[in-house]
Structure 1
């Protein structure tokens, strides 16, 4: 299937709407958002889970595309919200990833030679951060990681998780405070 440049350049709402009559159009949405969603999921659950989570996310999105809020031109928050729900069903996997990383110091994505990230705020280079993330409530961790790793705005996180923007702000503040406290304690113990 060859899609015209016109189809590829439209906003997500138009793609989703058109996909109701032409399901193959939904592939453009996948091509547009899957790589960053995959990167985010890999950071949260490791590479062995990422493919399945992304596939499950887009399958759920495809099945629910008729319910998409057409007032939103960007489907990213919607997709990250679906992914967060799928990840939520695999919290044990996420916690096991953090524990394994804390023990070994090697992020699972690095074992295969793939670096997840090079930044100092990621699990790939920061064992204390992995330990601190383990201590967060799941709802607080979701908000923090959607802002930090998926780079969503407060409003986009609110849309993704179907919570008020004020709740996003309070969860994010609580998570940041807990992370700072955990990292400071870790630093004091290391001295």
Structure 2
């Protein structure tokens, strides 16, 4: 099965699951931690299976479609993601089962800075940082234009600059 082929049958979808599950799981583990990631990754593929007839290969890659579903589930899982980052920024040490993203957030003031980003800015930034997506892939995953990806990423970087490089904000 190729990325451009429609996914209609359960056998084809098993191949989609086998090919993409680990990558989707890694992205989700980075966003949500290992305990939650497995459940949300499974839910991602359940949603994708239920909606497989709506996947249109002419509109983009299967991988981007799956990451779009995963990102939407992250947003649903964290209705108040900004609150989560504020709480993480107050912790002294991360738990061992926390995702990489959470361990990094706890290390400094990044949690407060991430809480100041809009949900759209956070989604774009974290798809680039954790899933290693380029602008076109982020655009496909989130159903937005590449120009919107660029502007959201630029805004996010500007908001994070004082935290990531304090001397840059003094200039």
Bucket of the pairwise TM-score, normalised by the shorter protein: 0.7 to 0.9
CA contact (8 A) 1:11 1:73 kept: no
Matching residue within 32, 50, 53 for 1:66: 53
In the TM superposition, structure 1's runs of 4+ consecutive aligned residues that sit over 6 Å from their partners are none
Tell me the equivalent position of 2:37: 50
TM norm structure 1: 0.75
More RCO (CA 8 Å, sep 6+): 2
Which segments of 5 or more consecutive residues in structure 1 lack a partner in the other structure?
Answer: 1-9
CA distance in 1, matches of 2:12, 2:48: 13
* Deviation, structure 1 residue 64: 1.1
Name the structure 1 match of 2:114. Answer: 133
**Match of residue 150, structure 2, among 140, 152, 169:** 169
**Equivalent runs, 1:73-84 vs 2, <5 Å:** 74-84=61-71
Which residue of the partner structure matches residue 2 of structure 2? Answer: 11
Q: How many residues align?
A: 167
Q: Alpha-carbon deviation of 1:175? A: 0.5
Q: Is the contact between residue 140 and residue 172 of structure 1 (CA under 8 Å) also seen in structure 2?
A: yes
Report how far residue 147 of structure 1 moved: 1.0
Q: 1:54 to 1:48 in 2, by over 3 A?
A: same
Please show how residues 97-112 of structure 1 align to structure 2 within 5 Å: 97-108=84-95, 111-112=96-97
Q: CA RMSD in A?
A: 2.6
Shift of 1:96: 5.1
